[in-house]
Amino acid sequence: MNPISRDFAPPLKLIAPFFHFGVIFYLLSMLALLFFEPTFSYQQMDVAGWIHLFLLGFVMMIIFGAMAQLIPVVLEVGHVVVDVYYVILPLLALGSVVMVFGFWLMPALLPYGGLLVLIAMIIFAFENIATLKKTELRTLTVDTVAWSNGYLLLGILTGFAIALGLSGDLGINVSLMLKAHVYAVLGGYVVLTIMGLSLTLIPMFSLAHGFDETAVKRAFKLVISSVAVVFIGAVLGFEWLMMIGYALSFIGIFFYMWQIYIIAKLTVRKELDVWAKSIIFAFITLILSIILSIVYFITDSESVLHASIWFLLLGFISFFIIGHLYKIVPFLVWFERFAPLVGKEKVPMLHEMYSKEGASVMFWFSSAGVLLGGFGLLFESDILFKAAGSFLFTGSIFLYITMKKMLAYGE
């Protein structure tokens, strides 16, 4: 497990708004699901709008907040310019909203929203890279942060090019550029970031120590290679090269999951709290996503592809993030608000800072919604998909309530 130090962590008032807005965006994206059908194309503007609402508003917002906290903690150096996060938050939030409205209502808005997001992410990436240069540590987590931020820059530049293409300001092959953009952002940034966070957070919260890191090192090399191969293949229009990249991705994810299995065998903590259940469910849905993606390459069925991506986004990525929110947020609030009071007055325990019943309701409604939605997409069932949206929206309400309670302790 990588060492953790709190000496260089930024103040809670800087980090908390990222979690607050991220959960609001999650709530809105789950509400929006109620207005979609289980049959669609990823090139539809309304579908693209929902994907950006979910990925930019929820996933990126939460990851940016978490990385603002964890990068200096893991690297044991302070941020170069920590105050830039006060600028990143409004740029990312406003840019996400403008882009979603651009997709849904007025394509001419896309370059403006894309530019705001581009500026926010460039500031984030360059500040992280500058902070990385300060550290003398050379760990896998450091390498993961470096590569993921490089792919983030690549992904957002291609995304901005797509926005210009959709608005008619740039003549590009949008279909090919879209594949490059998706793989750079999802595979290159989100997946690599999750892999890096896994090596720090999962052992820390499960109390697992002394494990071998060979599997995750292989996973890391395979995933960064696969993203590069798919990106080049997409830009050049070489399907065969992209297939090689996909194969490398599958092998890399296998090694990553093998690493998680090694950690799980060594875990000391056996309590199935909302974090543990969320992580278990996340990896179950990751397995489902992989199986369905293999079936898609054999059958070329669009419904299978939709279900596979659904389980990846709403199952694995979403539950990995949500589960960790129930650990990270109480810890950050407790450390800043209550740690100085230990021994002087009674302070709450971490698990007392949110409603276990509310968290449990959130988990069961959300997990049921993910499963129903996946099968609704697979079988193109409107009833199942609408039921999934209702369950997920209900779960998101309880997530918002429990998160608001946790953050209220720090006020």
**Is 62 in contact with 325 (CB distance < 8 Å)?**
yes
Spatial distance between the Cα atoms of 404 and 394, rounded to a whole number of angstroms: 16
Overall average pLDDT of the 334-346 stretch: 73
Q: Which two tokens stand for residue 225?
A: 């290679």
Q: Which two tokens stand for residue 396?
A: 């998101």
Rg (alpha carbons) of the chain, rounded to whole number:
20
Note the pLDDT tens digit of each residue in 115-164. Answer: 899 899 999 988 988 888 887 767 777 788 888 888 988 888 888 788 77
pTM of the model: 0.92
Overall average pLDDT of the 268-283 stretch: 87
Q: How confident is the model at residue 245 (pLDDT cuts 50, 70, 90)?
A: very high
Exposed, middle or buried by CB within 10 Å (0-12, 13-18, 19+), for 88?
Answer: buried
N- to C-terminal Cα distance for the chain? 32
Exposed, middle or buried by CB within 10 Å (0-12, 13-18, 19+), for 22?
Answer: buried
pLDDT at 399: 96
Note the pLDDT tens digit of each residue in 159-185. Answer: 878 877 766 666 667 777 888 888 898
Q: Which residues contact 315 (CB under 8 A, 6 or more apart)?
A: 281, 282, 284, 285, 286, 288, 289, 370, 374
**Is 92 in contact with 115 (CB distance < 8 Å)?**
no
**Is 203 in contact with 209 (CB distance < 8 Å)?**
yes
